Each structure stands twice: as C-alpha cells, then as structure tokens.
Structure 1
Amino acid sequence: MCGRSHVVIGAGPVGRAVALQLAGQPDTSVVLIDRSHSVLATAQGLLGDLKNVRFDGSFGPCAHSIQARSLIMATSWNDCRNLVGKLAHRMHEASLHTPIICVGWPDPEDPDIARMPPNGPPVVLGAGLEPGLVESLISLAAAELDGLESIVTHCGGIPKIPEPPLNYALAFGRRLPIEQRPALARVNGRAVTRSRFESVSSLFVEGVGLLEAYDDAMVPSTAASTHLSIPTLRQLTVRWPGFADGVRMLHRLGLLSDEEIEIGSTRLRVKHVTEALLTRRSPKEHGDQVILDVAIEDRHRKPGRWTCILRSALQERGFSSMAIATAVPVAAAVECVTRKQLRGAIHPGEATLAEVASMALGKMRGSRMAVLAERATGLLETTMIFGAGHAKAENTARGQRTSKPCTADVPERMGFLGSGFAGSP
C-alpha cells in the first residue's frame, strides 16, 4: 500500500538506486513509479527480485494516499515542479507532513517555491549529491571547526577512463551538463559571479589523476545566506581535462544555440542535435567514479583536506557510482527531516540538514553498494566526520583508509537486501 511505503517517482538510474537503498532498510516497502513502460521494465529487470519493491506505471493510485512515508522526486525539477506544488498544498490542507524530497536542481527563481506553505510538509529542494550532500559537508566542517577562512569543495562524477570527445559520459539524465549559466562563489567576503566554464583550475586526486575544476554548483541560497562568517566559500565541479575547453568551443561554433534547423521534415534546435551526437547514455565498460574533496584553511593559514573516491560495487548490475552517490544522501534526507519534524521549503545548506552528511557517509561506509577510498589530512584529519576514526580498514599511509564492500556473500541477484545494509537505521 502506498500509505505505508516510500514512493519514488522516476524509475531512471537515480530512482532505481534510491529504491534499492530504501529497500535495504528494515520494515520498509517502496513503490517505484514511472510513466515510461520501457523505463519501468528496466527497473523491474534490476529490482524485480526484491519483494518489498512494487512498480507502477501511474501516479494515480498513490495520488490519493498522501500519507506515504515519503515522496521522492527522482526527476529533474522541471519534470516534477507542478506535482510538488500541488502535493505540498494538498498535504497542508489535510494537516499531513509527508516529506517531499526533490533530487533535481530547483530553479531559484521559480515562484512556486515562494508559494509553498511555510508550515506545510517539508520539501527539500535538492537532496542528492550536489545540491545536497556537499552543502551538508560544508555545514559540518563549519560547525566543527572555529575560525575558518575558507571552504572550497570539489565534486563530480567522471568516467574511470576519459572518453573523447569531451572525456565525459552520462551516468544518468538526458542532457549533458554543458549549459551556460552564471556560477556563484564567495571570495574574500565578496559575492562573485563567474561564467560557468571560464575559470578553470587543476586538482590532483591520488588514485585518479589530474583533473580540471571550475566554479559551478553553488545555489543562490548558499551564496546569499550560508556561513557568512567564512570569507571564502566555493563549490567547484571536477571533470577530466579538456571538458571545459570542449564546451567553450561548442559554444563559440554556435553548436549549442537555440536556433532551429530543419532535418528532413522535422525542425530541431541546434543544441539538441549536438547533444544527441555527443551523449553517452551510460559509461562504457570501465564505469564511472565520484570525486568528493573538501579543502579548508583557518585564519592562522592552517590547512585541512578530505578526499573521497566512491566507486559502485554494482556497476555491472546497472547501478552507476553517480546514481549511488545521489541515492544515499536522499535516503539520509528522508530520515533527517522525518526525525526533526521539519516544515516548509528547505534549501540545501540550511543548518537543519547538516547531519545529512554524517548520516550519508555512515551509510556509504557501511554499504555493499559502493567502495570508498578516503584520505584526511591537516585540520580535517582529527575531525569527527572526516577523520580516520571511522575507518573500517586502515591503510599504512597516514590518514588514508579504504572502505570495502562485503561482496563475498552477495548473491548474483539482489536478494541480499532483505536484511538491510550495514549502517541503515
């Protein structure tokens, strides 16, 4: 029944990973919904052996049962915004507070966000990897360490092996992340707006190699009101070298314009044709990996850095690293807002969501879904969440550890989830 289930809307790669993560919790059932029969069939092929996951091709049966344990929108913001608004108001009128968790990046200018009832159900506006987990990591670092001068994060999903022409492959979604948009940052106490692909720097990650990074991921609510006592706050996206140059070249050539061209009897936008030619629906046989990096400096110029590499342990079974890294903080956000009985619209980076990071990392470190390699140095080496105290397997290198999944007893199909993941509540 929907009323006793987590309802996941969108059965694509992220929705499937969210359902898999939630299904591993004790006494839990999940309803996975998608209007696309082919997408739903793929989900059934991957998750059909799980007795506590149900599949539905319509939201209709659940629309009247808004007392579900949670409603998770595993779609883009544009695809779910109308439904989110309607559900929020309907629940408010019925005095219900079912958490609504939005995975996609919301449009900060969307007027529907401002109209959400402040005392209505909690609506988390970005609860995946970024926005979501990264903002919570920033909040944890700011709360645990006094006198910070800067926090700079790097985050991104990249192929294990660079794939030309952009050295990038889609792990989920329909569009390449190549849209030109302003990139926000705070530098030396000043709000800064940059072009998304113009300010490119380098980042070396041991075990991966040299990457490029650019200001990209900060949402306006973080730039305007989060941790204002910290003069420098930046959120950068990482890619293999050559990605930003390639995107800039496409823009200069007009290949990402909104102009329409005629192909046969069909008129298509130029950028849609370009994306169709460049898009890789999924990483090739080498798979993908997720990079998380938090670098800090205090007012005495003492540095600290934490780096995490996450790789899916279920890549061959259809679950990418990016999908898992998105799904785990979504499940943590559900727990957080439910336990705290939060209300109304909740933006990434709000202090009320700070513990999502510690919950999510705990789940990742104890999960059979992923392998983590972590390294903490300097000020972050002794912190509660980033430091080496959480290691499951210590490496000889100081401050470095690897979290390995217990794959030896994992059967070929997905039936192992019946007893739940280690680290699940």
Structure 2
Amino acid sequence: MKLLILGSGLMGPAAALNAMADSAVTQVILADMSQSQLETGIKQLAGKPGSQKLGVVRLDLSNQPTAVQLMTNFDVIVAALPRMASALAVQAALEAGKPLVDLTIPADTALPELRKLAESSPALVIIGCGLEPGLTELLACHLAEKLDRVDELHIKCGGIPAEPTPPLGYKIVFGGTRLPLREEDAWVVENGQLTKEARYSGVELVTFPGVGECEAFTESFMPWLLGLPMLQNLRRGTQKTVRWPGYAAKITVLKELGLLSDTPITVDGAQISPKRLVDTVLYPYVKMEKDDQDLTVFRVEAVGEREGKPCRLQAEMVDRYNTKQGLTSMARTTAFTGSIVARMIACGELTGRGLQHPERIITGPHFERLVNELKTLGITFELTNHWL
C-alpha cells in the first residue's frame, strides 16, 4: 500500500515512521510546502526501519488541481496539518475520491461545504482522528457502551512539557507555530442540554501517576457525541484540557484583554490580528527546543448504572517523550493513531464513505485492533471499574 502524508511538521514524520515499519506498506511520501520542513523530516527519519520506502514532494495545497492529481497515486492520505490548512486537504481528497484521515477537524465555517462535497464523493474521510479529538472520544464511547445507562461523561487530556518553564509552563507540541488558544465559549452538557461555558473556566486540580498535580479547565465537549445511542440519557458532560497549574489564569487575562481575538485591529496604519501578534511574540518562549521533552496525560470517566448498581468506569493514560525514536509523546499518541487508522482503511478493514467522526466507524473489533496496536508501541490505557 502507498501512503501520502500531508505535513512534515510536528506530526507528519511520526505518522511516516509508523507507516514505514509496516511490511504491507511499499511507499510513504511526505508532502509539505516548505523545503526546510521536508529536509528536517527526512533527517529525522533517516536510518529508521523502512526508511528506504520514504520520499518527499513539495506541495502547496492551495493549488488544488495539483493536490488532487497527486492524491490519485496513493491508497490513503493522512493529513498532519494545522487546523487552518485542514479543509484544503479534505477538499482535495474528496475531489480525488481518495480516503483521508485528518488528525484535526476543519474549521466550523468550512464543514458545511465539505459535507456537501462529500455527498458526491466515494471517499471515506475521517476527521478528528488523532489524540484529542480522536482517542478521547473513542475511549469515551468504549466506556459508555459498558454501562447500561450513562449519566455523566468527563474527558481530561493534555500535552505538557516534562519540565514547565516560564512564562506559561507550556510548549507547543501540535499545530505548528500557533498556540492552541480560542476566544469563544465552550460546549458543556448540563441537565441533559448543550450549553455554553467560558473557556478556561471550571478549573480543577487533578493528579496523574508519576506526573503529580496538574490543572484541568473547560475546553469544548464535542456536541455530536449526543447523537450516539449510548449517550442519549447523558445529564452532564465536560471536556477539559490539562496543563501545569496556573496556566488557565494567565490565558484568562489574555482573553479578557482581547488578545485572543482573530479580528484584525489597526495599529499605526497596519492591520493585525491580536491573536496572531500573541502567537508571534510568545513563540520563542513556547517552541519545543532540541532538548525539550513532553508528556501526555489522558483520563476519561463515564458514570452511570451497570447491572442495576451505580458505577464509574475510567480509562487513563500517561505517555512520555520517546528518546529512542526522538518523538514527542504528542506526536506518538496523535500521529500513530492516524497512521494506524489510515492503514486499516487502505487494507480494507475500515469501509464507508463521506465525512465521518472516528467513534462512528472505529467500533468493536476495529477499536480493539487500534488499541492493541498502540499497546505494542508502548501507548497503553488502564481501564478501571469502581462501584459507587
């Protein structure tokens, strides 16, 4: 099978590493518009198992005809791109009629047009198929299916530096050069209804084994989860991002000052987005340097009833930077997931068409296959059952 991986930044080389090691894979091509990014990717993967299968190509996704033509030469595509570039990748795959796995989700404004395009395409495109979104929702649904009734669902996940440093105690491990910060309110489920809550609110202290005390704050619950049969009776649902303590308070100040806004303002006659300015100013402080290491923490809890008794099920994972592979934990947990799913599509294990969320299609034995393969790569989930 032949794989095309879009993006040679923080995620793409990790997806390539995972694919190259599969004996069924004959070719892996990394595509990026930046020659320097491609050279970095090649250097990172040199000498790794299967590296003889690797090639690179320069590609600007804004040139859609060229992107579509390139995609026709592959069995499956993995989009390892910042969110702002995701829609172009999905659009090209749909027009090429080729399956694609997107590690992120296209912008909300782009989704209606993409769904319309998907109606006339034979391609299966799975969006939000990395760590979060992706594994978070898959594990949430897996736990929910084990309960007879689900009352509450709580997701906590985050990638943090192994050693926090000022000013934010955070380093960018996904999404290019822009901080993963948003201004708008977030979805939560209260009393069975979707409602909005201020992002970065609801701060709670959480402890993970071998990591210590962190904080978790309101991000956004994925609203489409309420359409799943096992979550029809959900009363409370939250999705929170995990960081080292103190992060949410600092970001809240930026938000209150209007510095997370994408709406351009005029400064000395020039138009500039406050968020873009913040990204540019802070990037030197939040860029992963050569010797930096990260870790990923993950906890999903489903509360409800099982066998007539109150019950809480939990899935937990702590993953760390892999020094042997030279890969961040975020790249391992995110890109390996997308690469495994892409190969499941290419070999015919996963079938379908249209725009799909992973929890709709990666179920039963497909879910078990994914989790088991991640386990062989050292990414493991501890599942526990607590009677209440």
TM-score in terms of structure 1 length: 0.78
- For residue 249 of structure 1, report the CA deviation from its aligned partner: 0.9
Q: Give the number of equivalent residue pairs.
A: 366
**Correspondences of 1:118-137 after superposition (within 5 Å):** 118=119, 120-137=122-139
Distance 1:266 1:355 in 2: 55
Q: Which moved more, 1:58-67 or 1:162-171?
A: 58-67
Q: Which moved more, 1:188-197 or 1:217-226?
A: 217-226
Q: Who is 2:107 aligned against?
A: 107
Q: Who is 1:421 aligned against?
A: none
Q: Who is 2:63 aligned against?
A: none
3-state SS in 1 of match to 2:353: coil
Q: Which moved more, 1:281-290 or 1:135-144?
A: 281-290
Alignment root-mean-square deviation, CA: 2.6
1:294 counterpart letter in structure 2: V
Q: Who is 2:118 aligned against?
A: 117
| CA deviation vs aligned residue, 1:10-69 (integer Å, no higher than 9, x gap) | 111101110011111113121111110110110011113310111111374872551512
Match of 1:360 among 351, 370, 386: 370
2:107 counterpart letter in structure 1: D
- For residue 121 of structure 1, report the CA deviation from its aligned partner: 0.7
**In the alignment, structure 1 residue 242 sits paired with structure 2 residue 249:** no
CA distance 1:142–1:225, change in 2 (3 Å): closer
CA distance 1:86–1:255, change in 2 (3 Å): closer
- For residue 310 of structure 1, report the CA deviation from its aligned partner: 0.7
Q: Which moved more, 1:324-333 or 1:249-258?
A: 249-258
Q: Who is 1:88 aligned against?
A: 94
Match of 2:385 among 366, 378, 385: 378
| CA deviation vs aligned residue, 1:120-175 (integer Å, no higher than 9, x gap) | 21011111111111111112112233233222121110111122221111113221
Q: Who is 2:177 aligned against?
A: 174
> Structure 1, unaligned stretches of length 5 or more?
92-97, 381-425
| CA deviation vs aligned residue, 1:354-383 (integer Å, no higher than 9, x gap) | 65653333223212xx565x5443349xxx
Match of 1:46 among 32, 44, 47: 44
**In the alignment, structure 1 residue 208 sits paired with structure 2 residue 211:** yes
Preserved contact between residue 211 and residue 240 of structure 1 (Cα < 8 Å): yes
Distance 1:312 1:252 in 2: 34
3-state SS in 2 of match to 1:341: coil
> Structure 2, unaligned stretches of length 5 or more?
61-65
Preserved contact between residue 152 and residue 236 of structure 2 (Cα < 8 Å): yes
Match of 1:72 among 55, 78, 81: 78
TM-score in terms of structure 2 length: 0.85
Distance 1:220 1:296 in 2: 16
Match of 1:16 among 13, 17, 21: 13
2:102 counterpart letter in structure 1: C
The alignment-based identity, stated in percent, is 24
| CA deviation vs aligned residue, 1:191-221 (integer Å, no higher than 9, x gap) | 2221211221221112111111123143332
**Correspondences of 1:255-294 after superposition (within 5 Å):** 255-257=259-261, 258-260=263-265, 262=267, 268-279=272-283, 280-282=286-288, 285-294=291-300
CA distance 1:240–1:192, change in 2 (3 Å): same
| CA deviation vs aligned residue, 1:216-255 (integer Å, no higher than 9, x gap) | 1433322455622333332221111111100011122343
- For residue 268 of structure 1, report the CA deviation from its aligned partner: 3.5
3-state SS in 2 of match to 1:75: coil
